[in-house]
Homo-oligomer: A and B are copies of this chain.
Amino acid sequence: MIVEMRVGATQEQLDAVIERAGQYGFDVQLNVGTDKFVVAILGSDTGRCPTENFAVLPGVQSVTRIMRPFKLASHEFRQEPTVVRAGPVEVGGDNLAIIAGPCSIESREQLLETAEAVVSEGACMLRGGAFKPRTSPFSFQGMGMEGVDLLCEARAKFGVPVVSEVTDAHYVDRMAEHLDVLQIGARNMQNYVLLRAAGETGKPCILKRGLSATVTEWLQAADYLLAAGTGGVILCERGIRTFETSTRFTLDVAAIGVVKRESHLPVIVDPSHAAGHYELVPTLALAAVAAGADGLMIEVHPHPEDALSDGLQSLTPRSFAQLMAQIESVAHAIGRGVQRPSGQ
């Protein structure tokens, strides 16, 4: 950490900064500038210390962090890329994992029809929402545990692992018994009670980026899962909120590269929520693959016009099939492949 003193700061104020550094066990190096003092606070653990512990002292103008404030998710903690495993599926290796399924599970027929379609087209994991966080209390809220049971039935039938979003810390254990992967939604990225509960199950987790979370905050949220003992964190970029309204969110495709540079964790992309409209989903999916994403999570519905949620951004099985061919082609162009569903 670098502490910049104000012009005219007193020796006493400077001493208080140095003393505080000593309290935390940090070393200090003093730079005497022409106009002002600058103090470097040194130590391998300064990343854990909030900058404001120094910024609040009298005479301090600014404090700048050098060490990243995340730890377990960082490249400094682990050099080589982590591959997260869920049954036969690997996320973070050479071959991309394509996860697909409906936004909400609406019925046994709807789920099985979708599952059959997406697995036959090459999706290696099935997604489906059982508990749905909805903006309005008057919207469909999901089938709950009944939906989770249907996911298990689909897994038995089609041989692919299943993932669903957890929204309530006190359902997490029951859901972890059934599901292969737990998903933390964007609006819950900083619901630390939920993160801890999900991490403690030991299951792998997909951690969606919050609507207005920086990459740094996202990796700090991953630290919560990792500190609690998760079976692996898969980051999922799904678009951030900006001033642009022609898409539902703005896909931050560069975040893939930033995550690869800062962290050992795999990162996938959800093009459906970012686009908000089925016509734009292929554009974003292919961009994500070319940018180096380790997988995709795509919403597919057999009859989008009758979907109870997010129909507008869902692909039909037919569009999904076309997109899978393009995904494979772009993946090969950058020297990667696409995982096939096990048993196919």
Contacts and interface: CB of A to CB of B under 8 A. Distances in A.
Interface of A: 2, 4, 7, 29, 31, 33-35, 38, 40, 42-44, 48, 50, 52-53, 55-58, 62, 64, 66, 69-71, 76, 133-139, 167-170, 187-188, 190-194, 196, 211-212, 214-217, 220, 223-224, 227-228, 240-247, 250-258, 261-262, 274-275, 277, 279-280, 283-284, 286-292, 304-305, 307, 309-312, 326, 329-330, 332-334
Nearest to A228: B137
Contacts of A193: 167-168
Nearest to A274: B254
Contacts of A2: 2, 38, 40, 64, 66
Given A56-B307, A57-B305, A287-B288, A212 B243 contact: yes
A75 to B, nearest CB: 9
A304 B55 CA distance: 11
A275 B55 CA distance: 14
How many identical subunits does the complex contain?
Answer: 4
A108 B233 CA distance: 39
B280 A286 contact: no
Q: Chain A: interface secondary structure?
A: mixed
Contact of A330 (B57, B246, B333): B333
Contacts of A4: 66
Contact of A242 (B243, B288, B305): B243
A138 B68 CA distance: 13
Nearest to A242: B242
